[in-house]
Every structure is written in structure tokens, then in C-alpha cells.
Amino acid sequence: MKNPHFPANFIGSASDAIAIFKNGSIVYANSAFDKLYNPLKYVVKEKFNRVLRDLNLDLQHSGKEFIQKHLSLIPNAKEIDILVYLLNRSGSDENHLLVLADPANTRPGFPFSTPDQILKKAAKNKLPTAFSELVGEDPHFKAVLLKAQKAAQSDYPVLIEGESGTGKEILARTIHRTSRRSRKKFVDINCAAIPDQLIDSELFGYEKGAFTGATPGGRHGLFVEAHQGTLFFDEISDASLQTQAKLLRVLNEGYFKRIGSTKNIEVDVRIISATNKNLKQLIKERHFREDLIYRLNTISIQLPPLRERQMDIPLLANFFLMRHSKKQHRKLQFSANCLDVLNSYHWPGNVRELKGVVDYMATMTAGPMITEKYFPDFLLPAENRSHKNSENRHDHFIAGQDFGLLSIAVQHTEKEVIKDVLQQAKNRSEAIKILGISRRTFYAKLKQYHLD
């Protein structure tokens, strides 16, 4: 990372708000910046981000190391001073900006540690053992985990953004386990899986005899089930507008009514949401309510894709292999060039895809050493694929005419891993725990791969 030349008159202060933006998203922020930025409305944050984009262009075109600007974020409020540094890596198309703000306007200067020192400090901070499932030493990833640790200490809503397979649900569960609500339930909801006609009964429950076909004793609903715990809305971007409206009403009013009842029910629930889609774009397209996002993203966390955490790929691969070895009571290890191939792949399915590939190879290998001959075909160099048995290749990619090669390979790996776990586990509950997925996802996979 490029080291800027800091002005000699910079003096450190605890009131300075510090953040690092990458392509318009926050990847690190201290508590002072969180207090400044998070309470802002969505439109104000957009204004701030537009200013950063303009300053970024100014820095690139002018060749300057930093720009100082007076900025008014809230109408009729006092201006604050910000300093913006260009931290682009050499030869990279990514835009890293270091943003410094003096909310109190106490002086013309700012602190300082270098950006590298800031990230190193984040990387050195020790995380609770509950974060052990989130493996990685990449400084930006560690900064995200530190932000999640701080989020766990509050009851504010959290919005986790990231591509599929980056570990959003694992992070949500970790935040719950390290919060004061850890002794209560973590209830997850797949927003895409609940039909509109069932949303009221699923979320809010119903009274005895409320409608034909209702459970004789009635139903509590997921909000009541998560009372004093955490309610996790997975893929909130897939919730219908009708579902969004009902959720917004509960979050605004703080109570709801069961179907068939006139009694208001109040619950104490912490909301965590996750999405793999761009909510800002969905708002522009009118597929997501702007007023709902204000209720969901008091604390925003952006999980980086695995391709931006290249140093973590060998760590994760060995972590998954060690876990597999322990379950199977075997001693397994990767060959050197095997890790090289894993490190060079772009992992569109992120950590989930890497885990599937490692589990597949560990299942297929006969001896203690895993070499590249045990890779799924899509990971092999083209010249090596011809040496593979054609019958096996047909079995792997039989549906390749309708779907992408990578998609079929990932599906095959998932199916083989699930079959292996089902054979080894005592029951399906243990299989779900071993696989590390939700019960709903588990049964959906069984149906998808005809394993039920």
C-alpha cells in the first residue's frame, strides 16, 4: 500500500474520526467515525460518498497525496473538516481512501499513524474465541471482524453485506454469541423462502382456531421465539415489498398482533440482516424500501470476497482440511503445488466454495497426501483434464448443457460432501451441525440433490 507523506504539523487526538473506504465502502472505521457516520440518513451518506468520489478523482488527476475540505453533512449544522488520502495500491484498479475527520473542529491538523499502522493495529487485536470460525489474517478482514466485535456489544441493528459464500450467516451467529443476548435464541429467517401469504403466521404467529388448517394450539411466531435474542433476516433483499412493509411497521411501532387476536404483543429482539445484493440499486429500482434500510443498517458490515483475501486462502484450506481430518480420524495434508493451484483460483463461490472443494478432495483421496489429481475438473489446467476418466467427467458435468461448468462442479462437490456427511453422522441434526448450515438450507439441499 502506498505510504503518503503526512504534514509535519499533524497532532494526534482521541476525537479524530478515522475510516478507510474501498471503492465507496467502509472497510475500517474507529468508534469516533462510527458515531459520526452511522446516525446519518441514507441520503446524507450518499452525499458524503459522492464527495469522496469527487475528491478521489481530484487526487488521481492532480497527483496530490491528500486533500483537505470543509464539509457540511447536515443542513444548518456546523461544518466539519475532513482530510482524504489516496491509498491506491500500485497497479490496482481499486480505490482506497483514508478519511480523517475532526468532528469537534478543534484544530487544523490531524493525527498520525500511517495507514499501514492502522491496519496492523486492527490485525493485532485479539478476538474472542467465538470468532474462531472466521479464519483469516488479512488486515482488512480482521478490521471487519473488530467492527463486528464492537457491534456485538450493542443492540443496534446490523446489516451484513457480501457476496454469496463469504460467511454472512456465520458472522451473524458470531455477533449473537458474543453479545449479551447469547443465552437466548438466534432465529434465522430465509426471506426468499417465505411466501407472502404465510409471512404473518411465520413472523407473528396466530391464535388457536384463527383459520382453517391452523395448528390446534396456535403458534407463537418467530418474533416471539426470538424474544430477548436475535432475529436474523437472511437475504433480506429477496423479501417482497409486502413483507418489507410488515417488517417496517413492527420495527417502527415495537409491537404486533397475532392473527386472530386484538392484543398487542411487545418483544425485545435484536435485528441482524444480510444481503448479497446492492440494496442502493434495489432502492433506485423500487424493489426495496428506502425507509426500511434506515431501520436495518445502523451498523453496516461489508465482508470482502475471498479473491481480495488471497493470503487467507492457504489458511482456510488447511483449516477445513484439519477439521475434516479430525472428523475422519485421518492425517491429511496438501502437496505444495496443490496449495499453489488453490491460491491462483478466483473463487467466485468464496469461502463456501473453497470448503466444498477441500471436503471433496479429502473424501476422494486414498492416502495422506492430497495432490492436484484429486481436484474437481474445473480447478485443473486444461492439459491435465484429458487424463481424467471420461466416465467420471460425464458424471460430474452431465447437466453442463443447461448450466455453467463452474455451477455444475460446485453442485457436484456439494452433493458429494452432503452424502459423505450423511453416511458418517449419527443423525440429520448432527449432519446439519457438521455442515455448518441452517436446517432450512440442509433440507433444501437434500431435495435439490434427491438425497431425501
Read off the CATH number of the domain in which 195 is found.
3.40.50.300
Quick check: is 5 in a domain?
A: no
What's the pLDDT band for 402 if we cut at 50, 70, 90?
Answer: very low
Nearest to 292 by CA among 134, 410, 131, 159: 159
Provide the 10 A C-beta neighbour count for residue 41.
12
Give the domain range for residue 99: 17-111
Quick check: is 11 in a domain?
A: no
Mean pLDDT, range 65-81, rounded to an integer: 64
Quick check: is 7 in a domain?
A: no
Same domain, 140 and 247: yes
Quick check: is 278 in a domain?
A: yes
What's the pLDDT band for 13 if we cut at 50, 70, 90?
Answer: very low
Domain boundary among 287, 304, 321: 304
Query: Which range (24-38, 91-105, 300-314) has the least confidence?
Result: 91-105
The DSSP output letter for 134 is: S
- pTM for the whole thing? 0.60
The cell numbers describing 251, all together, are: 420495527
Quick check: is 193 in a domain?
A: yes
Same domain, 218 and 332: no
Q: Average pLDDT, whole number, for the chain?
A: 77
Same domain, 265 and 321: no
Q: What pLDDT, on a 0 to 100 scale, did the predictor assign at position 351?
A: 94
Number of structural domains (the chain) is 3
Same domain, 367 and 407: yes
Same domain, 430 and 350: yes
CATH code where residue 323 lies: 1.10.8.60
Same domain, 139 and 277: yes
Quick check: is 256 in a domain?
A: yes
What's the pLDDT band for 180 if we cut at 50, 70, 90?
Answer: very high
For residues 232 and 272, what is the distance between their CA atoms, to the nearest angstrom?
A: 5
Burial 307-320 (b: 16+ CB within 10 A, else e): eebeebbeebbbbb
Same domain, 205 and 349: no
Quick check: is 87 in a domain?
A: yes
Q: What pLDDT, on a 0 to 100 scale, did the predictor assign at position 172?
A: 96
Q: What pLDDT, on a 0 to 100 scale, did the predictor assign at position 392?
A: 44
Q: In the predicted model, is pLDDT for residue 192 greater than 70?
A: yes
Quick check: is 431 in a domain?
A: yes
DSSP string for 189-218:
EEGGGS-GGGHHHHHH-B-TTSSTT--TT-
